[in-house]
C-alpha cells in the first residue's frame, strides 16, 4: 500500500465518520431520473455507486419518462431528490403540465447540476446557407405537437437574431424523432437540439448537413431578448459535438445544465447538506463513471441560475468557500418569486373552474397578474 492510498483512505474514513454524514446521510434513499440508459440516469447511478462504496449508503434510482413522473415521488416524499431537466424550472413556475389542478407552482430547490462540453441550441440545415440566427428569417422551424417547452425554447432562441415565430414557418411533427426525420427529408430547416444528440449526428452525416450558429456572449441585446422568453438558457462555450464546436474551435451558443439534481424546500437541511457534501467529496471517484458526469464539478455550478438552491446545499457551498453575497441575494429574490406564485395559486385554485382547459387559462392570467403586481417578469404569457 503506497502513501497516497493511506492518505486517501484516512480522508475517506474521516469523511464517513464526520457528524454530518453519520447523522444526516440516509443509509437508504431513492432518487428519480430520466429513463434507463439516459445520461441523467447513468450519472445518478455512477454517483450512487460511490455513495455505496465510500459512504455505505444505498441509492435506488427510479426511472420515469416525463417530468411529472419524475417529480411525483419527490413531492410525495417517496424519493428525496430527482435528476430533472428544464422541467425543474417549469415546476417552479407552475406552467405547462405543472399548471394542472393537481400541481401548481412547486417549491423547487437545487442541489447540483452537470454542465457538459455540449451546447443545446438551434440546429440549422447547412444547405440553407444560414450562418447566424438572424439569417433564419423565412426558414422552417420544426416543432413537436404536445411539447410546448420545446417550442418555447426554440422561439426564445430565435429572439437572439431579433426574430419571432412570425418570421419563420412552424412545421408540426408528432414526435421528436419524426421532426428529425422531417429535417433530414427537407421538410424543416431548424430544430432545437444538443450538439451531441444522436439526431444531430444523423443530420450532420446526411446530405443536408447541420450547423449550430454562434450566439456570442458579448451580444448583450441578443441575450436580453432570449432571457425575456427563456431565462434558463445561458451563453455556453461548446467544445464537443457536430455542427462546429470542438476543443480547437469552441462555439459560444445556448445551453443549460443537465441533469439538474433538485428537491423541495421543506426537505431537512441537514440531509440535503450531507448529500450535497457527499456529491462534492466523491466527485473524483464518479466523474469518469458516466458520460457527462465530469460536468458535476463544483467549479462548474451556476450559483445565479433561475431556480434557488436548498439551504442545505448553500451550507455545503459556504463550507467549500464558493458561496457569495451576490449568490445569496439572487437566491433570496428567487425564493420571493416562488412565494408570489404559490400565494397566487392558493387564492386562484380555491375557486378555479372545474374544466381543465379553463382552469389553466385562468391560472395563467392570475399568475401573470400576481407577478406583474410584484414587479417581476411574467416570462410565460398566456
- DSSP-derived letter for residue 231 is T
Q: Quick check: bond before 187 cis, omega within 30?
A: no
Q: Phi/psi class of residue 252: alpha, beta or left (left: φ > 0; alpha: ψ in -120 to 50)?
A: beta
The pLDDT, as a whole number, for residue 371 is 98
Q: Is residue 325, in this structure, part of any structural domain at all?
A: yes
238 and 164 co-located in one domain = yes
Residue 264, pLDDT > 50, answer yes
Residue with cell 426554440: 154
Q: Is residue 142, in this structure, part of any structural domain at all?
A: yes
Q: Is residue 359, in this structure, part of any structural domain at all?
A: no
The tens digit of pLDDT for each residue in 165-178 reads 999 999 999 988 89
162 and 105 co-located in one domain = no
Tell me how far CA of residue 253 lies from CA of 85, 191, 250, in angstroms: 18, 14, 9
In contact, 258 and 40? CB cutoff 8 Å: yes
Q: Is residue 240, in this structure, part of any structural domain at all?
A: yes
How far is 183 from 139, CA to CA, in rounded Å?
Answer: 12
268 and 241 co-located in one domain = no
Tell me how far CA of residue 126 lies from CA of 83, 179, 254, 347, in angstroms: 34, 17, 18, 50
Q: Is residue 358, in this structure, part of any structural domain at all?
A: no
Q: How far from each other are the two terminal CA atoms of the chain, in whole angstroms?
A: 65
Pairing of strands 58-63, 108-113: unpaired
The pLDDT, as a whole number, for residue 382 is 62
249 and 147 co-located in one domain = yes
Over the chain, what is the mean pLDDT?
Answer: 92
Q: Domain residues for 24?
A: 3-115+258-334
Question: Looking at 255, 288, 314, which one is the last position of a domain?
Answer: 255
The pLDDT, as a whole number, for residue 197 is 86
Q: Is residue 39, in this structure, part of any structural domain at all?
A: yes
246 and 267 co-located in one domain = no
The tens digit of pLDDT for each residue in 213-263 reads 999 999 999 999 999 999 999 999 999 999 999 999 999 999 999 999 999
133 and 179 co-located in one domain = yes
In sequence order, the 6+-apart residues with CB closer than 8 A to the CB of 221 are none
**Cβ atoms within 10 Å of 350's Cβ, excluding its own:** 7
193 and 309 co-located in one domain = no
Lowest mean pLDDT among 3-17, 27-41, 178-192: 3-17
How far is 171 from 154, CA to CA, in rounded Å?
Answer: 12
**Cβ atoms within 10 Å of 192's Cβ, excluding its own:** 25
The pLDDT, as a whole number, for residue 1 is 42
Tell me how far CA of residue 68 lies from CA of 87, 208, 346, 347, in angstroms: 8, 36, 20, 23
Percentage of the residues of the chain whose pLDDT score is greater than 90: 84
> Total domain count for the chain?
2
Q: What are the φ and ψ backbone dihedral angles of 304, each rounded to 5 degrees?
A: -130, 55
The pLDDT, as a whole number, for residue 19 is 45
Residue 14, pLDDT > 50, answer no
86-108: string of b/e by CB count within 10 Å (b at 16+)?
bbbbbbbbbbbbbbeeebbbbbb
Pairing of strands 234-238, 251-255: antiparallel
294 and 221 co-located in one domain = no
**Cβ atoms within 10 Å of 227's Cβ, excluding its own:** 17
What is the domain-level CATH number for residue 155? Answer: 3.40.190.10
In this prediction, residues 102-130 reach a mean pLDDT of 96
Entry pTM: 0.86
Q: Is residue 366, in this structure, part of any structural domain at all?
A: no
Question: Looking at 255, 287, 311, which one is the last position of a domain?
Answer: 255
The tens digit of pLDDT for each residue in 320-372 reads 999 999 999 999 999 999 999 999 999 999 999 999 999 999 999 999 999 99
Pairing of strands 120-125, 210-211: antiparallel
The pLDDT, as a whole number, for residue 72 is 95
Lowest mean pLDDT among 14-28, 72-86, 132-146: 14-28
Cell numbers for 37, please give them. Answer: 440508459
95 and 157 co-located in one domain = no
111 and 148 co-located in one domain = no
26-54: string of b/e by CB count within 10 Å (b at 16+)?
eeebbbbbbeeebbbbbbbbbbbbbbeeb
Question: Looking at 255, 285, 303, which one is the last position of a domain?
Answer: 255
The tens digit of pLDDT for each residue in 290-315 reads 988 999 999 999 999 999 999 999 99
Secondary-structure percent of the chain, ordered helix, strand, coil, rounded to 5: 50, 15, 35
Tell me how far CA of residue 61 lies from CA of 41, 70, 85, in angstroms: 7, 11, 16
211 and 282 co-located in one domain = no
Amino acid at each position: 500500500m503506497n502513501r497516497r492510498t493511506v492518505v486517501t483512505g484516512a480522508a475517506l474514513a474521516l469523511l464517513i465518520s464526520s457528524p454530518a454524514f453519520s447523522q444526516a446521510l440516509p443509509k437508504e434513499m431513492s432518487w428519480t431520473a430520466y429513463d434507463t440508459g439516459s445520461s441523467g440516469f447513468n450519472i445518478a447511478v455512477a454517483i450512487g455507486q460511490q455513495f455505496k462504496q465510500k459512504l455505505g449508503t444505498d441509492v435506488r434510482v427510479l426511472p420515469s419518462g416525463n417530468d411529472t413522473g419524475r417529480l411525483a415521488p419527490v413531492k410525495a416524499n417517496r424519493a428525496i431528490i430527482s435528476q430533472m431537466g428544464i422541467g425543474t424550472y417549469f415546476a417552479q413556475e407552475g406552467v405547462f403540465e405543472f399548471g394542472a389542478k393537481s400541481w401548481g407552482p412547486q417549491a423547487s430547490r437545487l442541489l447540483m447540476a452537470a454542465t457538459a462540453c455540449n451546447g443545446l441550441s438551434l440546429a440549422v440545415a447547412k444547405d440553407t446557407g444560414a450562418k447566424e440566427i438572424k439569417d433564419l428569417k423565412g426558414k422552417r422551424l420544426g416543432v413537436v405537437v404536445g411539447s410546448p417547452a420545446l417550442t418555447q425554447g426554440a422561439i426564445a432562441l430565435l429572439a437572439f437574431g431579433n426574430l419571432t415565430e412570425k418570421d419563420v414557418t412552424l412545421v408540426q411533427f408528432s414526435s421528436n424523432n419524426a421532426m428529425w426525420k422531417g429535417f433530414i427529408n427537407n421538410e424543416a430547416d431548424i430544430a432545437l437540439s444538443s450538439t451531441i444528440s444522436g439526431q444531430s449526428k444523423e443530420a450532420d452525416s446526411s446530405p443536408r448537413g447541420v450547423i449550430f450558429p454562434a450566439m456570442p456572449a458579448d451580444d448583450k441585446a441578443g441575450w436580453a431578448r432570449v432571457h425575456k422568453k427563456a431565462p434558463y438558457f445561458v451563453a455556453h462555450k461548446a467544445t464537443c459535438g457536430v455542427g462546429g464546436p470542438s476543443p480547437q474551435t469552441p462555439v459560444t451558443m445556448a445551453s443549460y445544465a443537465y441533469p439538474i439534481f433538485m428537491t423541495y424546500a421543506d426537505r431537512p437541511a441537514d440531509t440535503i447538506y450531507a448529500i450535497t457534501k457527499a456529491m462534492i467529496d466523491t466527485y473524483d471517484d464518479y466523474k469518469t463513471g458516466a458520460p457527462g458526469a465530469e460536468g458535476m464539478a463544483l467549479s462548474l455550478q451556476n450559483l445565479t441560475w433561475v431556480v434557488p438552491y436548498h439551504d442545505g446545499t448553500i451550507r455545503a457551498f459556504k463550507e467549500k468557500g464558493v458561496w457569495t453575497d451576490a449568490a445569496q441575494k439572487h437566491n433570496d429574490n428567487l425564493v420571493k418569486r416562488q412565494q408570489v406564485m404559490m400565494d397566487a395559486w392558493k387564492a386562484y385554485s380555491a375557486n378555479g373552474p372545474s374544466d381543465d382547459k379553463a382552469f389553466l387559462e385562468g391560472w395563467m392570467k392570475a399568475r401573470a397578474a400576481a407577478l406583474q403586481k410584484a414587479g417581476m417578469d411574467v416570462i410565460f404569457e398566456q
